[in-house]
Chain A
Amino acid sequence: MRKLLILVAVLTAVHGALLFVHPSGAAVPPTGDAVDVGIVFDLGGRGDKSFNDGAYIGAERAEKELGVRVRFVEPGESADREAGLRLLAAEGMDLVIGVGFIFTDDLTQLAREYPNTRFAGVDYSVAQDKDGKVIQPPPNLAALKFREEQGSFLVGAIAALVGKSKKVGFVGGMNFPLIHKFEMGYAAGVKSVCPDCEVISQYAGVTPEAFRNPGKGKELALSQYQQGVNVIFHASGSTGLGVFEAARQTGKLAIGVDADQFKEAPGYVLTSMVKRVDNAVFDAIKRVKERHFAGGIYQYGLAEDGVGYVYDANNAKMIPAAVRTRVEALKADIVAGRINVPSTK
């Protein structure tokens, strides 16, 4: 018994003492007047090398360049999404951002409940009413959407021009409208430079699991390469890792998505269709800082630097100068509105 009491006493004493330790770098409550921004990540969280990391980079840049204060919340389960947004809204943040289409319902509801707080949703999915008319988000909510089809159009052109084969490949993750945008833009890009080329499109599945299935990605990619495809564009999350693996194995080429994926298979990644979530997030914060934030639907396309393709020291030697010139001309055409890229099936 005495041993036990000593143990309890010692533990209590240690715990009590540690409670009062204040390391020098410990967080102090922020003071002073600055723009406060709160960001709730999707369940994937930081370190996904895509979406959430993009938002993080944009917020970090805003911290440095605009002097705003940013707080991050990483939800643990789906009920935490609303809880995280609510926590930040209740704290009086000037701007609350939800990263991922899955936040759509929660953001809409909270924007109505907190009319004086500004909200932004990355990839917010805009609903349509029965007549197919777009239902506008609440006035204090900015829907940050991307014209993925425009960036995909350009990599489609690159794939056809560099691949030098009549067949080009596409591997999608989950078969649903968001990914159809990638596929349709890509196919249109291929056709624009090679009208008689065939685009072989395949999806890894119909559920969100299709974004996390590298085995399936590799299987699809290998079969496409065997059919004579030389370049495959993937829009499939980590399923794409399997596509890169297949490219490495067969010595053919693949195109990355969302972020620059060159490092996933150096030498086999022709380029990447980048979605600049960082720019969109930075822009939203900047508008709050400069006091001209407004709700509504924001489309980030080539003109706004919201999407694009990677051309840098890593892959410059894989893309000939003539191809580069042609693609840049196509880009100018899209920006000027001379080419209209389809986004739906």
Chain B
Amino acid sequence: MSRRAAIEEALLPPLVALLLAAVVGDALILSFGQSPGAVYKLLLEGTWGNAYGFGQVLYKATTLVFTGLAVGLGLRAGLFNIGAESQLAAGGFCAALVGLLLPAGIPALLCLPLYLLAAALGGGVVGAIPGVLKARFGAHEVIVTIMLNFIVLALLNYLTSARVHVPDTLHTPEIKSGALPRLGDMFAPFHGSAANVTILLAVVAAVALGWYLFRTRSGFELRAVGLQARAAEYAGVNVASVTWRALALSGAIAGIGGLNYVLGYKHYYEEGFATGAGFLGIAVALVGRNHPVGIVIAALLFATLSQGGLAVNAIVPKQMVDVLQAVVILAVAVSVPEVRRLLSGARRRSDA
């Protein structure tokens, strides 16, 4: 494929999808009797238009990058992980517990590995359960991860409110050391926004996952299983082992996402601290086409819509932005294969 064709194929489908979504958004806004230009302007002003809004976008995108990567990794192995929601919560909870056990006054850099380990373990165990059930008994991971969401969230719910909460609140006491600095502490304009240095962890995770998937043997095996499990098995790949490891790793990545809130923002675990971020991760992975770069871009897009929803809430209901998110997902799902078909058709004709 020529360089130009490659660029066309990478850029045209999302462009068409975004335009489609924008036009549907126009219609929605008009149906509320508002001016699309004014609403989009407000949305952009409230997000990328000032440092605070941009900081909020970065904060939300950070969590979404983790859940997006988690779901994307699973999909690369042909596994649909719907459990990022509870894996994220479990990771955050375990990190908060570690924070309660640590003595005060330890430098953040020293505790960070501990927190990473705790969050990864918390999410990883929740992810490994469907993995093992699938590898050993053939239980479908979609069913198991969905059901585990209920079980794990209810369990965390119980543990928080019955064991470790501060009276009259839904959160645990604050962690004693290891809180990560916010961007606002370093760059004054970001003041007040929740964005924090966990964003660097998200970037590292995206790069590391890209390297793992496309540059290592284990990543190659994982993708081979995802493309055609039987062929991979024939070629000597241990499919069962790849399956459970992929889901455990996926859960661990989602779990680390919990640090964004627990270490970076509030410094405690709160009931439902990132409600919906796990499910939105599925959309992020889908729109980002399971590629780390695409996932980062998609996370920024969805974070913008989410934060922008607050900004435009004055003139249109919140549900409008929820619908717009859904339209983006549908537009990508429909337009990507369709645009590709058109592109390859055009190429064949020009070759002839």
Task: Report which A residues bind B (CB closer than 8 A).
Answer: 1-4, 7-8, 11-12, 14-15, 18-27, 43, 45, 71-80, 82-84, 86-87, 90, 101-102, 104-105, 113, 125, 127, 174, 176-178, 206-209
CB pairs A–B below 8 angstroms (13 shown): A1-B342, A1-B350, A4-B342, A11-B16, A19-B26, A21-B26, A27-B34, A43-B272, A73-B310, A76-B322, A83-B310, A176-B167, A177-B167
Closest 6 CB pairs of A and B: A1-B346, A18-B26, A11-B19, A19-B37, A207-B157, A25-B33
| Known contacts A11-B19, A178-B168; is-contact A45 B192 (Cβ 8 Å) | no
Among A19, A25, A79, the residue within 8 A (CB) of B40 is: A19
| Known contacts A4-B12, A11-B19, A11-B20; is-contact A23 B275 (Cβ 8 Å) | no
> Do the beta carbons of A76 and B30 come within 8 Å of each other?
no
| Known contacts A87-B46, A125-B169; is-contact A15 B23 (Cβ 8 Å) | yes
Within the complex, what minimum Cβ distance (angstroms) separates B48 from chain A?
A: 15
| Known contacts A206-B161, A208-B170; is-contact A72 B192 (Cβ 8 Å) | no
> Do the beta carbons of B313 and A74 come within 8 Å of each other?
yes
Cβ of B170: which chain A residues have Cβ within 8 Å of it? 102, 208
Within the complex, what minimum Cβ distance (angstroms) separates A19 from chain B?
A: 4
> Do the beta carbons of A77 and B161 come within 8 Å of each other?
no
Within the complex, what minimum Cβ distance (angstroms) separates B304 from chain A?
A: 13
**How far apart are the CA atoms of A20 and B29 in the complex, in Å?**
12
| Known contacts A23-B33, A26-B33, A45-B318; is-contact A79 B261 (Cβ 8 Å) | yes
**How far apart are the CA atoms of A21 and B37 in the complex, in Å?**
8
- By beta carbon, the residue of chain A nearest B32 is A23
> Do the beta carbons of B270 and A78 come within 8 Å of each other?
yes
> Do the beta carbons of B35 and A11 come within 8 Å of each other?
no
| Known contacts A87-B46, A90-B52, A177-B167; is-contact A72 B313 (Cβ 8 Å) | yes
Cβ of B27: which chain A residues have Cβ within 8 Å of it? 18
> Do the beta carbons of B35 and A26 come within 8 Å of each other?
yes
B129 at the interface (CB under 8 A from A): no
> Do the beta carbons of B307 and A77 come within 8 Å of each other?
no
Beyond contacts A18-B30, A18-B36, A22-B35: 4 other A-B pairs, Cβ-Cβ < 8 A, are A77-B276, A78-B275, A79-B60, A113-B192
Among B23, B37, B273, B322, the residue within 8 A (CB) of A11 is: B23
B162 at the interface (CB under 8 A from A): yes
> Do the beta carbons of A15 and B271 come within 8 Å of each other?
no
Among A72, A79, A87, A113, the residue within 8 A (CB) of B265 is: A79
**How far apart are the CA atoms of A3 and B347 in the complex, in Å?**
13
B154 at the interface (CB under 8 A from A): yes
Within the complex, what minimum Cβ distance (angstroms) separates B4 from chain A?
A: 11
Cβ of A84: which chain B residues have Cβ within 8 Å of it? 310, 313
Among B12, B33, B275, the residue within 8 A (CB) of A77 is: B275
| Known contacts A19-B26, A79-B265; is-contact A174 B161 (Cβ 8 Å) | yes
> Do the beta carbons of B19 and A4 come within 8 Å of each other?
no
**How far apart are the CA atoms of A2 and B190 in the complex, in Å?**
45
Cβ of B40: which chain A residues have Cβ within 8 Å of it? 19
Cβ of B30: which chain A residues have Cβ within 8 Å of it? 18, 21, 23
Within the complex, what minimum Cβ distance (angstroms) separates A96 from chain B?
A: 14
Within the complex, what minimum Cβ distance (angstroms) separates B127 from chain A?
A: 22
Among B23, B35, B273, B339, the residue within 8 A (CB) of A23 is: B35
Binary interface profile of B, 33-73, with partner A (CB < 8 Å = 1, else 0)? 11111101000001000001000100110000000000000
**How far apart are the CA atoms of A11 and B22 in the complex, in Å?**
9
Cβ of A113: which chain B residues have Cβ within 8 Å of it? 192
In this complex, the interface size class of chain B, counting residues with CB under 8 Å from chain A, is 35 or more
Cβ of A74: which chain B residues have Cβ within 8 Å of it? 313, 317-318
Within the complex, what minimum Cβ distance (angstroms) separates A140 from chain B?
A: 17
**How far apart are the CA atoms of A19 and B42 in the complex, in Å?**
13
B188 at the interface (CB under 8 A from A): no
| Known contacts A3-B342, A83-B310; is-contact A78 B273 (Cβ 8 Å) | yes
**How far apart are the CA atoms of A302 and B165 in the complex, in Å?**
32
Within the complex, what minimum Cβ distance (angstroms) separates B262 from chain A?
A: 12
Within the complex, what minimum Cβ distance (angstroms) separates B41 from chain A?
A: 9
Cβ of B37: which chain A residues have Cβ within 8 Å of it? 19-22
Within the complex, what minimum Cβ distance (angstroms) separates B190 from chain A?
A: 12
Cβ of B306: which chain A residues have Cβ within 8 Å of it? 76-77, 80
**How far apart are the CA atoms of A305 and B21 in the complex, in Å?**
49
B309 at the interface (CB under 8 A from A): yes
Cβ of A21: which chain B residues have Cβ within 8 Å of it? 26, 30, 35-37
Binary interface profile of B, 110-127, with partner A (CB < 8 Å = 1, else 0)? 000000000000000000
Q: Which of A15, A43, A90 has the most CB of B within 10 A?
A: A15
Within the complex, what minimum Cβ distance (angstroms) separates B30 from chain A?
A: 6
**How far apart are the CA atoms of A24 and B273 in the complex, in Å?**
40
> Do the beta carbons of B168 and A177 come within 8 Å of each other?
yes
Among B161, B270, B311, B315, the residue within 8 A (CB) of A27 is: B315
B104 at the interface (CB under 8 A from A): no
Cβ of B52: which chain A residues have Cβ within 8 Å of it? 86, 90
**How far apart are the CA atoms of A265 and B149 in the complex, in Å?**
33
Cβ of B322: which chain A residues have Cβ within 8 Å of it? 76
**How far apart are the CA atoms of A73 and B311 in the complex, in Å?**
9
| Known contacts A11-B23, A21-B30; is-contact A26 B168 (Cβ 8 Å) | no
Among A71, A104, A209, the residue within 8 A (CB) of B314 is: A71
> Do the beta carbons of B314 and A27 come within 8 Å of each other?
yes
Within the complex, what minimum Cβ distance (angstroms) separates B307 from chain A?
A: 7
Within the complex, what minimum Cβ distance (angstroms) separates A183 from chain B?
A: 16
> Do the beta carbons of A208 and B157 come within 8 Å of each other?
yes
- By beta carbon, the residue of chain B nearest A7 is B16
> Do the beta carbons of B339 and A4 come within 8 Å of each other?
yes
Cβ of A73: which chain B residues have Cβ within 8 Å of it? 310, 313-314
